[in-house]
Amino acid sequence: SVNPDLASERQTASFSVEKLTALLDGGTEQTRIRRAVVEAIESDPVFSRENQYFQTQNERYEAAVRKAVHLQKKMHEMGWTENGPEYKYIYRALSGDVAFLLHRVFMRSISVLGSDKQIAKWIPLATQHKLIGSYAQTELGHGTYLQGLETTAVFDTANQEFILNTPKISAMKWWPGDMGRSATHTVVFAQLYIHGKCYGIHPFIVQIRSLQDHSLCPGVIAGDIGPKMNFEHIDNGYLLLKNVRIPRENMLSKFCEVRPDGTYVRQGSQKINYFTMTTVRISLIADEVLTPLMKACTIAIRYSVVRRQSKLKPGEQEAKILDYQTQQEKVLPQLATAYAFHFTNDYLQELFNRGYREIQRKNFDMLPELHALSSGFKAVITQHCTAGVEICLRACGGHGYSLLSGLPSLYTKILASCIYEGENTILLLQTARFLIKCFMAASAGQPVPPSVTYLAAVKHGKCPAKNKLDFLSPDIYTEAYQHVAVRLTSSTAAKLQDLIQSGVKKHDAWNQCTVQLVQAAKAHCHYIAVKNFAETVEKLETKAGIQKIMKHLCDLFALHGIFSNTGAFLHDGYTSAAQMDMVTASYLDLLAVIRKDAVPLVDAFDFTDKSLNSALGSSDGQVYQRLYQWAQRSPTNQMSPAYEKYLKPLLHNTLSKL
Amino acid sequence: SVNPDLASERQTASFSVEKLTALLDGGTEQTRIRRAVVEAIESDPVFSRENQYFQTQNERYEAAVRKAVHLQKKMHEMGWTENGPEYKYIYRALSGDVAFLLHRVFMRSISVLGSDKQIAKWIPLATQHKLIGSYAQTELGHGTYLQGLETTAVFDTANQEFILNTPKISAMKWWPGDMGRSATHTVVFAQLYIHGKCYGIHPFIVQIRSLQDHSLCPGVIAGDIGPKMNFEHIDNGYLLLKNVRIPRENMLSKFCEVRPDGTYVRQGSQKINYFTMTTVRISLIADEVLTPLMKACTIAIRYSVVRRQSKLKPGEQEAKILDYQTQQEKVLPQLATAYAFHFTNDYLQELFNRGYREIQRKNFDMLPELHALSSGFKAVITQHCTAGVEICLRACGGHGYSLLSGLPSLYTKILASCIYEGENTILLLQTARFLIKCFMAASAGQPVPPSVTYLAAVKHGKCPAKNKLDFLSPDIYTEAYQHVAVRLTSSTAAKLQDLIQSGVKKHDAWNQCTVQLVQAAKAHCHYIAVKNFAETVEKLETKAGIQKIMKHLCDLFALHGIFSNTGAFLHDGYTSAAQMDMVTASYLDLLAVIRKDAVPLVDAFDFTDKSLNSALGSSDGQVYQRLYQWAQRSPTNQMSPAYEKYLKPLLHNTLSKL
């Protein structure tokens, strides 16, 4: 039976939840396929995550391997293929709790970086799981800056082999997933040396474990890097190589080849490869970043209508905590953020599909823009969504702190997304570099890519809003965001110029501007996200109340951004103090409006109870029963040896005789 | 041997590290005592935390119990007593990793709430550990709002007993520390009923486990609430009572007594009790909030001078990441925050000592102010320090994410401080209520407590700064903070009045202002923290460079607060856009100045390597060696059954025959 406090929230939805779900999925057919996949996965006990919060790192690893192996069988049974429509829902249905994800990266890197011959040899072996692959790039002392990698691969002409070495401890491979315990092979990135000359970083296929008994190969030292904040199910590993010899054919050689005599040959353009790395940043947004925030919102909002605390009106019963303005102000902007970035992701996917088509036609013009957008949005979306999950966790008070709420594991996992695939600050500076370049070009009247043409149109006007309702006009707020993005880019460009003109060296000047450059890059992405949300709402069908509620969320996303960052909008007087008060008033009004639809808005995300895996967020709202029943199953409720060993002697006072 | 990149940082300290340590400790004698305690604890292997990151919740609990029992012996050996000068350093030296903390709360509540007779009976039993106590207040469905607690205690005149019951699942006691597995007794807070009439919440001593065999007493269901984000060493518990009978004498009766015939008698003033609860919020700041931030700063800053990444200048070696402005902007403001709140804590301690003396003289005038300050600062300091630890964690990239960095456990533990002892938003609203009341009083010309007299002096001036150096003047920035605090309080008071005058009911009007009330309360505390830091610096001795570096940190703390919240200062034109640009310039300049002393500034916190328990933060900077050696000892580097069970069949292709 559904908790009546939760049930009542569903009776007053202003829109069709089912229609909104279909919109998020991209159509009713997609919803049907997704649900079928979820049903098949969740009804299979091998994929259960029920005991996850009680398991050790070792148990999590073993379960993930078991699931990965079982998944092969399941896909065969269900007739799912890697190119089928179901495939993209499998990982989501498993909540990513499965091993061998790097095996796919191993295969992709061979497909992208390998010659036709290499592809023909290795891909079938990998597909049939005759080996387990990993991808060894990051080193203990080297991350983002690839040129700094220290592992070496020296070509030995006499034996037609590469000799791989880890020259010092900071050169150990560190972090590669599936490498700590599972992988038999890996793609190692190393500095290539031929006849004593360094040719820079290249990829090599290296076998690290025996295919017979899984023992480490000669010269290989590998293991697990130990406990982490999350990802207990993944055996992130270390790898140390001592004179490990591999045949010449194992250097992936689509773009660069070493001939038998040691001649080094470059061939073709690496731009497609560069594009592939860029798309990885976009591809992780849906599953690794948006889904956790959507889950956190579902949990926090359902809990907030079930939990009652203190009295809002004297004499009445205790109030649902979602009726407090401060609670609304915590969780509802996160809900708006989840929707906003869902649509941003659609926009980016479309842009990258277009980019891919252009690149296949050998037109690489879009690359710099795509790189800037993928870098900036990877950083901005991971940052906002991570902060959002943490806010949801804290908004649930003590119960949010229990692993059984599901929120801690969502937080500790999404946090990693701010670091992997490019640390956020470094990515934002890449975007900023593009912005500065485009701003200079635009100022000089040169053409710039579509997403930055607005930089050319520096306006010195004022925000035209006259009352608080004007701030519910997308034109008004989108223009305000645009103004801020232009101002931050242009003022930082000016500071950079001034420093250089005053004699500061270019690299020093750049470093002295980086805090402000990061601000400019964030403002650029925020502007595009707001603009895209507003344009998406514009195009939605007006039926079934969907457009109306999405418009509210768009307004909330935009006004929350202004309210949280008023200085940027007030700075040059574009927005006046009186207008800022209007923003605040409209923003607070919106909270009360969206609060009414809060539960239907999270119901539309369509998470099953099993996928939420949360005592606080289940669809029936029976929070307290679930917490109690679940806690009773905790291993901490088994007998502890601590009583006989320590408590009994203490209580029976042997201690005082010490 | 010390990593030369770290060693070089220590050679250029602008001040005496040892003198700064003594300042932080409150004198060289305190430093000596603290170090002696740390030495005694850390040289004893029973107290080792070396394997902490590898242990399960059960292992952590057992270790904490073992340490608690061993501590009794240790104190006896060392001649340390609960009233001695060493006592306050023990908990810090153990990093809080010890059981039976609630036993002390149990004893304190009996001392404060019990009659002389009750104290005489129970305190010796507790002191000699003939029982293990806990404190059962929070319920599954009830936290902050004590009046909402549902546990009942019905007086049975015939048997001279109270009958305790948990009437429904939301009334279960939930969270009490030491109760899940250890405690034999607890103080239960329950609604008192006599002859069918409810007299509200009262405290009762209830035995929950046998003193003979530790089995649960009849009618008692208790256990552990399961896994949490941290505090694995504590057995936070649940408790369900079914007609549990306790003698009449077990109701703690210093303030309220039930006579044998059921007559209910109130006696004395509970104000001292109220004061005690208030001081708990202050007492946790040093150990639970400041120490974790100081540790996080130590780890992140030492790592930031050892880690090198990318090139700052073309042709040079890779740069220390602390030389990047963006990295400085992450970690150095956290360092300034740690120092700022250290001095705030000194200020609060002094204020509360004064308050205590007044209260003993039956003068309760300071109570409302002390309550407002303890509530507001508990919220503001936990909030800032938690955010600071998270920033430090993220500033260490991938390695910060490893438990071996020490940062994840600092974060997951300090996060709880935002929730326990009063959820932060609720506390800030308590402070805001005080501010609004005082603002109204001050406006009407009535006297108000010292910390809020500034509210009477609403000035409409402008910030007088003429260039960026003016913003290094404490008068300039302290006044700016004051202006913002007054503006936010007065404008919210005005909004509240307007709403009420326009016919909105008082409680609704209050709710509609809460987001802004929270802002006002934060601004008030931030102002006091800045003002206190500036005044503290003023009074420091000018020798040994201490005052100079503290002045830099004070400036950084103040300007970081403005830079991060420019809108509040720009809003009514008190600070102009041009002045805000000066703030930014001075702020960024300061980063480069403080960067030079960053390592000495964290060295002054004087953490031993054992207390940091971090591969990244050790005093010799041998980061990579430590990570590698430590990881090798992880239980995940033992043989996993996953190979025989899953990997072998997969690789040997039994799968493809499925």
pLDDT tens per residue across span B58-85: 999 999 999 999 999 999 999 999 899 9
**CATH number assigned to the domain comprising residue A576:** 1.20.140.10
Where does residue B187 fall: left (phi above 0), alpha (psi -120 to 50 degrees), or beta otherwise? beta
pLDDT tens profile A593-608: 999 999 999 999 999 9
Sheet containing B220-224: which strands, arranged edge to edge? B173-174, B237-241, B220-224
Give the CA distances from residue A51 to residues A60, A414, A610, B568, B599, in Å, rounded to whole numbers and listed in that order. Answer: 10, 20, 11, 47, 44
Q: Which residue carries 């949801």 as its tokens?
A: A392
Distance (Å) of CA B76 to CA A474, B71, B79, B85, B213: 71, 8, 5, 15, 27
Alpha helices of B460-575 — where are they, by DSSP H? 474-501, 506-539, 546-563, 566-570
- The three-class DSSP label of residue A254 is coil
Instruction: Look at A653 and B129 and tell me if their CB atoms are within 8 Å.
Output: yes
CB contact under 8 A, A69 and B649: yes
**Could you give the percent of chain B with pLDDT greater than 70?**
99
Say if B102 falls within a structural domain.
no
Where among B217, B242, B267 does a domain terminate? Answer: B267
Q: How far apart are CA B181 and CA B173, in angstroms?
A: 14
Residues B202, B255: Cα–Cα separation, whole Å:
10
The residue among A597, A614, A634 that closes a domain is A597
User: From CA A267, how far away is CA B144, in angstroms rounded?
Assistant: 68
Nearest chain B Cα distance for residue A32, angstroms: 28
Distance CA A604, CA A584 (A): 28
Nearest CA in chain A to B132: A651
Residue B442 placed within a domain: yes
Which residue in chain A has the smallest CA separation from B61? A642
A78, two tokens? 């269900």
In the predicted model, is pLDDT for residue B152 greater than 80? yes
Residue B228 DSSP class: B
pLDDT in tens, B506-545: 999 999 999 999 999 999 999 999 999 999 999 998 877 9
Residues forming a β-bridge with B258: B264
- Partner residue facing A647 (CB), from B65, B401, B637: B65
Q: Which residue of B has its CA nearest to A576?
A: B571
Report which residue type is found at A367.
Answer: L
Query: Chain B residues with CB inside 8 Å of A325's CB?
Result: 511-515
- Predicted pLDDT at A375: 97
B48 located within any domain: no
pLDDT at A547 over 70: yes
Beta strand residue intervals within B195-263, DSSP E: 197-207, 220-224, 237-241, 244-247, 256-258
pLDDT score, position A607: 98
Residue A566 sits at the chain B interface (C-beta within 8 Å): yes
DSSP bridge pairs for B161: B156, B247
Identify any residues that bridge with A173 across adjacent strands, giving them in sequence order.
A139, A239
Q: Which among B580, B597, B614 is the end of a domain?
A: B597
Token digits of residue B574 = 């008190």
pLDDT of A93 strictly over 90: yes
CATH of the domain at B154: 2.40.110.10
Separation of alpha carbons B345 and B529, rounded Å = 9
In the DSSP assignment, the letter for residue B217 is P
Minimal Cα–Cα distance from A237 to chain B, Å? 10
- Summarize pLDDT for B577-605 with one digit per residue, the tens: 999 999 999 999 999 999 999 999 999 99
Angle B506-539/B367-395 helices, nearest 10 degrees? 70
Is residue B67 domain-resident?
A: no
Give the B window 371-390 contacts with A, CB below 8 Å. Answer: 390
> Which of A542, A631, A382, A266 is closest to B221 using CA atoms?
A631
Q: Token pair for residue A592?
A: 């009360």
Question: Quick check: is B439 in a domain?
Answer: yes
Which two structure tokens, joined as six digits, stand for A505? 């060296």
Interface test with A, best of B409, B637, B648, B656 (most A CBs within 10 A): B637
What is the chain B residue with the closest CA to A423? Answer: B397
Question: Which among B65, B226, B404 is the nearest to A402, CB-wise?
Answer: B226
A184 in any annotated domain: yes
- Give residue B183's domain range: 130-267
- pLDDT exceeds cutoff 60 at B655: no
Task: Measure the CA angle with vertex A144, ends A143 and A147; round to 5°.
Answer: 90
Tell me the shortest Cα–Cα distance from A358 to chain B, in angstroms.
Answer: 32
Is residue A350 annotated as part of the catalytic site, yes or no?
no
SS3 (DSSP) at A615 = coil
Judge whether B412 and B317 are in contact, CB under 8 Å.
no
Q: How many Å apart are CA B59 and CA A640, to the nearest integer?
A: 9
Counting the structural domains of chain B, the total is: 2
pLDDT at A657: 47
What is the band of B263 on the pLDDT scale with cuts at 50, 70, 90?
very high
pLDDT at A499 over 90: yes
Q: Give residue B649's region: left, alpha or beta (phi > 0; psi -120 to 50).
A: alpha
pLDDT band at A658, cuts 50/70/90?
very low
Residue at A262 is within a domain = yes
What residues contact residue A95 under an 8 Å CB cut-off, 6+ apart? A49, A611, A613
Question: Who among A226, A310, A330 is closest to B144 (CB)?
Answer: A310
Q: Is residue B360 very low, low, confident or very high in pLDDT (cuts 50, 70, 90)?
A: confident
Instruction: Give the whole-angstrom CA distance, residue A296 versus residue A427.
Output: 26
Strands (E), B175-287: 185-194, 197-207, 220-224, 237-241, 244-247, 256-258, 264-266
Asked if pLDDT for residue A656 goes beyond 70, the answer is: no
Q: Is B138 annotated as a binding residue?
A: yes
> Which of A57, A236, A650, A658 would best serve as a mutation to test chain B binding (most B beta carbons within 10 A)?
A650
| pLDDT exceeds cutoff 90 at A544 | no
pLDDT of residue B9: 98
| DSSP calls for B548-602 | HHHHHHHHHHHHHHHHTTHHHHHTTSSS-HHHHHHHHHHHHHHHHHHHTTHHHHH
What is the SS3 assignment for B377? helix
Pick B325's closest partner by Cβ from A56, A512, A630: A512
% of chain A at pLDDT higher than 70: 99
What's the average model confidence in pLDDT over A212-241?
97
pLDDT digits (tens, 9 = 90+) for B127-136: 999 999 999 9
| Length of chain B measured in residues | 658
- A518: chain B residues, CB-CB within 8 Å: 326
Q: What average pLDDT does this structure show over A562-566?
A: 98
CA dist., res. B340 & res. A593, Å (int): 40
Q: What is the reported pTM?
A: 0.98
Using CA atoms, how far apart are residues B636 and A544, in angstroms rounded to an integer? 53
pLDDT tens-digit profile of A118-149? 999 999 999 999 999 999 999 999 998 999 99
Q: Establish if A197 belongs to a structural domain.
A: yes
- Could you tell me the maximum CA-CA distance found in chain A, to the nearest angstrom? 91
Instruction: Name the burial class of residue A215, with classes exposed (0-12), middle (13-18) and buried (19+) by CB atoms within 10 angstroms of its CB.
Output: exposed
